[in-house]
């Protein structure tokens, strides 16, 4: 019988109720992992748990709320007692031109995308086994200088810095830390940004991507499986673009 790449591993995926997080949760379970997923909306989370179907627990919560993170890891500790893989995936993208950025927009973006990731990792560490894998969901936006994404891109640049530090800091325990940086991907968050203009924006994104198309959540999930598994056992500290060549040329 073939053994999955993540056989018997315990994983947490924040923002796991839709898009990249949901696709990754499905793949992790297919590869033998038990997965805890989070989401802010209970109904959407329940739907995701039903869709994944097995070896999954949904824990409602917002990564910017430290009490919610504590509750998440308490559930992991109670049910499984350890953690092998964290995919800190939860994030928001709200394109706003710099002159229109409000303090509220700025704080919300950093609270979820940067503070939320930092403390998702911080609070995971007591449960994380030697040899664990931390993966954070970045973006190539911080390298490209895309208009209207000043706050968003800066949050993702911070993640790149975190991972450099964590690579050095956690190496003694054999814990690896890496970034996945997706390009434009077919997810609800994309439509949520642009509404009725989504199709036109997709065409603009396609023109920016050398491969000439929008990515699929499953393509990001494949990269996450690789970084979570022993197949990447000598890889740490990298920013892996999964973007059809967007930042390469």
Residues carrying an active site annotation: 152
Strand 239-242 with 83-88, pairing: unpaired
Cα–Cα distance for residue pair 79/164, rounded to 1 Å: 31
Q: How far is CA 244 from CA 157, 198, 204, in A?
A: 20, 19, 14
In total, the chain counts a number of residues equal to 249
Alpha carbons within 13 angstroms on the beta-carbon side of residue 176 total 22
What are 85's strand-pairing partners?
11, 133
Q: How far is CA 243 from CA 56, 176, 209, in A?
A: 28, 22, 7
Task: Extract the tokens encoding 28.
Answer: 């992790």
Neighbouring C-beta atoms of residue 91, cutoff 10 Å: 25
Task: Extract the tokens encoding 219.
Answer: 């393509």
Closest by Cα among 62, 245, 39 to 25: 39
Q: For residue 113, what is the DSSP state? A: I
The whole-angstrom distance between residue 74's C-alpha and the CA centroid of its chain comes to 21
């Amino acid at each position: 019988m073939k053994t999955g790449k993540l056989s018997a591993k315990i994983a947490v995926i924040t923002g796991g109720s839709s898009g990249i997080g949901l696709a990754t949760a499905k793949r992790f379970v297919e590869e033998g992992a038990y997965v805890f997923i989070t989401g802010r909306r209970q109904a959407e989370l329940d739907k995701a748990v039903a869709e994944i179907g097995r070896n999954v627990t949904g824990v409602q919560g917002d990564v910017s709320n430290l009490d919610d993170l504590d509750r998440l890891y308490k559930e992991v500790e109670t049910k499984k007692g350890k953690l092998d893989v964290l995919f800190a995936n939860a994030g928001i993208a709200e394109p706003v031109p710099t002159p229109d950025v409000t303090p509220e927009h700025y704080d919300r973006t950093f609270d979820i995308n940067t503070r939320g990731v930092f403390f998702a990792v911080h609070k995971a560490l007591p449960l994380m086994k030697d040899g664990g894998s931390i993966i954070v969901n970045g973006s190539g936006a911080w390298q490209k200088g895309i208009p209207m994404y000043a706050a968003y891109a800066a949050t993702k640049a911070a993640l790149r810095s975190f991972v450099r530090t964590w690579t050095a800091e956690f190496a003694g325990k054999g814990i690896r830390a890496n970034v996945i940086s997706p390009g434009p991907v077919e997810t609800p968050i994309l439509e949520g940004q642009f509404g009725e203009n989504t199709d036109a924006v997709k065409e603009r994104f396609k023109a920016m991507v050398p491969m000439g198309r929008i990515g699929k959540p499953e393509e990001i999930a494949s990269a996450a499986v690789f970084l979570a598994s022993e197949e990447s056992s000598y890889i740490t500290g990298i920013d892996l673009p999964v973007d059809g060549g967007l930042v390469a040329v």
